[in-house]
Amino acid sequence: MPINTTTDELTWQETALCAQAGPEFFFPAPGSSTREAKQLCNACEGRLACLEYALAHDERFGVWGGLSEKERERLRRSRPEVR
């Protein structure tokens, strides 16, 4: 858990569907499909909180909130920077 993470910030993990699947599902080998992981994410009520967590903590690997690394990077670049 990152140092600056509060317990409230992680409550989405308690009901996250990803907790029922193995990590290899969300961290596939390079070149492997992320389709199944994204489908599970899209059915999860914690998807947006997960995505916000990944963006806030610069998660660079795996599927988070239904987006791959490249998709999160594109989203990060398209968002106005908040200072």
pLDDT in tens, the chain (83 residues): 344 555 567 788 888 998 888 888 899 888 889 999 999 999 999 999 999 999 999 999 999 999 999 999 999 989 776 54
Tell me, yes or no, whether 44 lies in a domain: yes
pLDDT at residue 23 in the model: 85
59 falls within a domain: yes
Indicate whether 21 belongs to any domain.
yes
DSSP state of 83: -
Domain membership flag for residue 1: no
| Gap between the Cα atoms of 27 and 34, Å rounded | 8
Of the candidates 11, 44, 12, 38, which has an alpha carbon nearest to the alpha carbon of residue 25?
38
Task: Give domain status of residue 72, yes or no.
Answer: yes
In a domain, 2, yes or no: no
Range of the domain at 46: 8-78
Based on the structure, what is the number of domains in the chain?
Answer: 1
**In the prediction, which pLDDT does 80 show?**
72
Q: How many CB atoms sit inside 10 A of residue 9's CB?
A: 16
Return left, alpha or beta for 49; rule: phi > 0 is left, psi -120 to 50 is alpha, else beta.
Answer: alpha
